[in-house]
Amino acid sequence: MIVRFKSNARGFTLIEMVVVISLILILLSISLPMYSRYIQRSKEAKLHSNLTTLNKVIEAYSLDKKKAPQTLDDLIQAGYLKSIPEDITGRTDTWVTEPEDPQKAYDSNQPGIGSVHSGSNETSTEGTAYSSW
């Protein structure tokens, strides 16, 4: 007499589940640091773009008006910008303005903003401070 066991077992064994979960964890441990670096580099690219834009707009304002802007809000009021772009900190009030060179100033009695740089004390992925950009 042959005895047959009816097998209704469906699904995965515990070992198969452990192997699959282990593979998923290995893939996550590889991809998360890469994703974090990608996010940081995109923030740095945005900072570089915002710095370039602000400094070009300050220069254009100075050439057009024959005087440097006194505040960054002057750029908005004159129609050169719609809003102040964000610093790497994600805020618009952390920009540090540098005064224009008094010897090259259009109006030596009212020196204005010559350039801007980031107000962040953090270090970039290249090892330089954001405030030195």
Q: Decide: 98 and 115 in contact? Cβ < 8 Å.
A: yes
- Reported as a pLDDT band with limits 50, 70 and 90, residue 115 is very high
- Reported as a pLDDT band with limits 50, 70 and 90, residue 25 is very high
Instruction: Select from 89, 90, 111, 96 the least CA-distant residue to 54.
Output: 96
Count of CB atoms within 10 A of residue 54's CB? Answer: 23
Instruction: Select from 94, 93, 85 the least CA-distant residue to 120.
Output: 94
- Reported as a pLDDT band with limits 50, 70 and 90, residue 125 is confident
Say whether pLDDT at 4 is over 80: no
